[in-house]
Amino acid sequence: TPPPTPPPTLPPPTPQPKPSLPYDCHAGVANWAEGWSDAKKDWCCAHGGQGCTTPKPSLPFDCNAGFDNWQAGWSPGKKAW
């Protein structure tokens, strides 16, 4: 008798496409102040810090400062942040 036929090999599943973002904040960044819509400026400022019409507020902590000794040197507030 002939050997049994193996089951067919299924192709790998097709990966789901990544959701598209409403704006490409790298496109036109060199001329963002004149070239971007207000909606793109608002979105890119909120989601990437580009196109902000007002300076971003400073962060409460600099996580690069003292990073080599963070466990002993950082305050509880800085560690939590």
Model pTM score:
0.46
Q: Report CA-CA distances (Å) from 43 to 23, 30, 49, 53.
A: 8, 17, 9, 12
Place of tokens 């790998």: 12
Give pLDDT tens digits along the chain (81 positions). Answer: 788 888 888 888 888 777 788 999 999 989 999 999 999 999 998 887 888 887 666 778 888 888 888 889 889 988 887
State the Cα angle at 24 between 21 and 25, rounded to 5°. 120
